[in-house]
Amino acid sequence: MPTWGNLGFQDSASPLMEQLTFFHDHAMIVLILITTFVGYMMASLFFNSLTNRFLLENQTIEIIWTILPAVILIFIALPSLRLLYLLDEVNSPSVTLKTIGHQWYWSYEYSDFLQVEFDSYMIPTTDLPESGFRLLEVDNRTVLPMNTQIRVLITAADVIHSWTVPALGVKADAVPGRLNQVSFMINRPGLFYGQCSEICGANHSFMPIVLESVPTNSFLNWISSMAD
């Protein structure tokens, strides 16, 4: 999760988030180079009293500054399109999790395992343990196996919500009467926090998401105890 003074993304916990981070760095390098070059050219114009007569009404340089930005846009667009299709890909998921947004909590269903379902409410600050994170802890964490392809089906029961876990690079609207789908694989154990990212009413800020990534055997033990 983010900490004080953290200006970048959270540490990635899935291959998709790694790719998103790489694309962000790629785009930022291009933008910094362009900004530096344009800034240098503007500074040289401001502080230079001379005029280059070959620079005025010059067809060659106009062709260059038309073609060069087009090439730069292609260098940004191609990785972006590749990543866009990667984010939409669902590769034979082993576990399907159904997520339903309510005002103002989330409910989850593991329909692969004898219809295990539960609600997940935020723990109030007054009941928060000393080691807990304010406005982020829930009473029932969503347990998922690591190194497993997971599909999440997302909808809502009342208004539009948004199920978001930044460390996994996952964000999808929960729309009443519609199923949205995301897919990811968690590549390390831990707790991953998220929040509703669509303003959905008075308690919009009080419906956090907590995913607990565990080894497969621990997940099977947990799901067995829930089914009992």
Residues 79 and 23 in one domain: yes
Task: Assess if residue 206 is contained within a domain.
Answer: yes
Task: Assess if residue 8 is contained within a domain.
Answer: no
**For residues 29-54, average pLDDT:** 87
| Helix orientation angle between 15-46 and 59-88, rounded to the nearest 10 degrees | 160
Residues 110 and 61 in one domain: no
Residues 65 and 130 in one domain: no
Task: Assess if residue 5 is contained within a domain.
Answer: no
**Mean of per-residue pLDDT scores for the chain:** 88
Task: Assess if residue 10 is contained within a domain.
Answer: no
Examine the fold and report which residue of 37, 70, 88 is the final residue of a domain before the chain moves on: 88
Residues 82 and 33 in one domain: yes
CB 154 within 8 A of CB 181: yes
Q: How many structural domains does the chain have? A: 2
Joined tokens for residue 41: 């050219």
Domain of residue 168: give its range: 95-226
pLDDT, tens digit, for every residue of 140-155?
Answer: 899 999 999 999 999 9
CB 162 within 8 A of CB 106: no
Residues 215 and 148 in one domain: yes
Task: Assess if residue 115 is contained within a domain.
Answer: yes
Residues 213 and 197 in one domain: yes
Task: Assess if residue 4 is contained within a domain.
Answer: no
pLDDT, tens digit, for every residue of 174-202?
Answer: 999 999 999 999 999 999 999 999 998 89
Residues 170 and 217 in one domain: yes
pLDDT, tens digit, for every residue of 51-93?
Answer: 777 767 778 888 888 899 999 999 899 999 988 888 887 778 8
**For residues 113-128, average pLDDT:** 87
Residues 77 and 112 in one domain: no
Examine the fold and report which residue of 88, 111, 141 is the final residue of a domain before the chain moves on: 88
pLDDT, tens digit, for every residue of 199-214?
Answer: 988 999 999 999 999 9
Joined tokens for residue 156: 């809502």
Q: How many whole angstroms separate alpha carbon 97 and alpha carbon 109?
A: 6
CB 201 within 8 A of CB 128: no
Residues 78 and 143 in one domain: no
What residues have CB less than 8 Å from 144, skipping those under 6 apart?
Answer: 95, 97, 150, 186, 211, 212, 213, 214, 219
Task: Assess if residue 2 is contained within a domain.
Answer: no
Task: Assess if residue 3 is contained within a domain.
Answer: no
The whole model's pTM is what? 0.81
Angle, CA of 50, 53 and 59, to the nearest 5°: 135
Residues 63 and 103 in one domain: no
Residues 122 and 220 in one domain: yes
Q: How confident is the model at residue 224 (pLDDT cuts 50, 70, 90)?
A: confident
Residues 198 and 135 in one domain: yes
Angle, CA of 125, 128 and 129, to the nearest 5°: 155
3 state SS for 16-84: HHHHHHHHHHHHHHHHHHHHHHHHHHHHHHHCCCCCCCCCCCCHHHHHHHHHHHHHHHHHHHHHHHHHH
**Exposure class string for 107-130: b at 16+ Cβ within 10 A, else e:** bbbbeeeeebeeebbbbeeeeeee
Phi, psi of 99 (to 5 degrees): -120, 130
**For residues 164-172, average pLDDT:** 92
Q: What pLDDT shows up at residue 207? A: 93
3-state secondary structure of 188: coil
